[in-house]
Amino acid sequence: MQTEVRYQVEPPVESPVMICGLPGIGSVAWLAVNHLQKELKAQLFAEVLSPMFSPKVWLTDEGLVRLMKGEFHFWKNTGEGTDVLLFSANEQPYAPEGQYELAEVVLDVAEKFKVRRVITMGGIATERFADQPKVYVGGTDVELVKEIEARGAVRLSGGAITGTNGLIFGLAKPKKMRAICLLAETPGYLSLDANAAKAVLILTAKLLNISLDFSALDKQAKENVEAVQRAKDMSRGGLAHEARKGGDLTYVS
């Protein structure tokens, strides 16, 4: 079986920005792209079927079968500003070669629709639980990095980005595409860090010059805060009761 991109419609976009986010640490990128897709009501235009995904299927509540796959959505901006393509997947390919292959498939679609800029996302593990997570940026050229720094991001200096989110970013360069990677800080222990996803989206919204409703992410983030607090209460025993009464809720872990 070969990897296949199955188009459902031709997306009517012009020089779009492509935003990519696969599951990874804190599911930051995946949450962000899913939120964008729902808020923008972006439409599915292509699927990636591939043996580089796990050999399993899953079922909807209606008992309908679904493959592991990648999905491309588009959003036609009817106002001013840029059109958008989105890419996400149920999971990252399990093998290194698969991660390279998927990154290339995504960039081939980006080339096909003359994407002007690729944005990939992710989380960066830090030791603190941040109320307002910092967003770090790396890019394919100095001007791009400086532009994003001016919007409030912190420049990545050194370090590595593993997995497909990093490879889409890195392989853009030899393909002569401009790309940035936005990494929100996230503690390692959250599986769905909505607060970090919101942080990258606030910056992304600025870059796209669009406004976004974050209430769904806020709701998830609030649940995270409460879960963290409960975990702390349990580890502190009786003292927790007093602590809760006595002061503000803080997020320091």
Point out which span in 74-82, 156-164, 209-217, 229-237 binds a second copy (CB under 8 A): 156-164
18 sits in which H/E element: strand 17-20
CA dihedral 156, 159, 164, 165 (to 10 degrees): -10
Interface map 101-120 toward a second copy (x if CB under 8 A): x-xx----------------
Strand partners, 49: 4
Q: With binding defined as CB under 8 A, does residue 77 bind a second copy?
A: no
CA dihedral 242, 243, 249, 253 (to 10 degrees): -150
Q: With binding defined as CB under 8 A, does residue 164 bind a second copy?
A: yes
* Minimum CB distance to a second copy, residue 12 (Å): 24
The end-to-end CA distance of the chain, in Å, is: 47
Choose, by CB under 8 A, the member of 6, 41, 176, 245 that binds a second copy: 6
Q: Which is nearer to a second copy, 87 or 169 (CB)?
A: 169
Choose, by CB under 8 A, the member of 63, 79, 238, 247 that binds a second copy: 63
Choose, by CB under 8 A, the member of 145, 216, 225, 240 that binds a second copy: 145
Q: With binding defined as CB under 8 A, does residue 176 bind a second copy?
A: no
In the block, tokens 């607090």 appear at 229
Total residues interacting with a second copy, rule: CB under 8 A: 53
The radius of gyration of the chain from alpha carbons, rounded to an integer in Å, stands at 19
Residue 47 neighbours by CB under 8 Å, 6+ apart: 5, 6, 8, 69, 70, 71, 72
> What DSSP string runs through 205-245?
HHHHT-----HHHHHHHHHHHHHHHHHHHHHHTTHHHHHHH
* Minimum CB distance to a second copy, residue 168 (Å): 10
Q: With binding defined as CB under 8 A, does residue 150 bind a second copy?
A: no
Choose, by CB under 8 A, the member of 96, 125, 132, 213 that binds a second copy: 96
Q: With binding defined as CB under 8 A, does residue 58 bind a second copy?
A: yes
50: left (phi over 0), alpha (psi -120 to 50) or beta: beta
CA gap 37, 212 in Å, rounded = 11
Choose, by CB under 8 A, the member of 43, 76, 91, 156 that binds a second copy: 156
Subset of 34-53 contacting a second copy (CB under 8 A): 49, 51-52
Q: Which residues contribute to the site for a second copy (CB under 8 A)?
A: 1, 6, 49, 51-52, 54-67, 94, 96-97, 99-101, 103-104, 137-142, 145, 155-164, 166-167, 169-171, 173-174, 179, 181
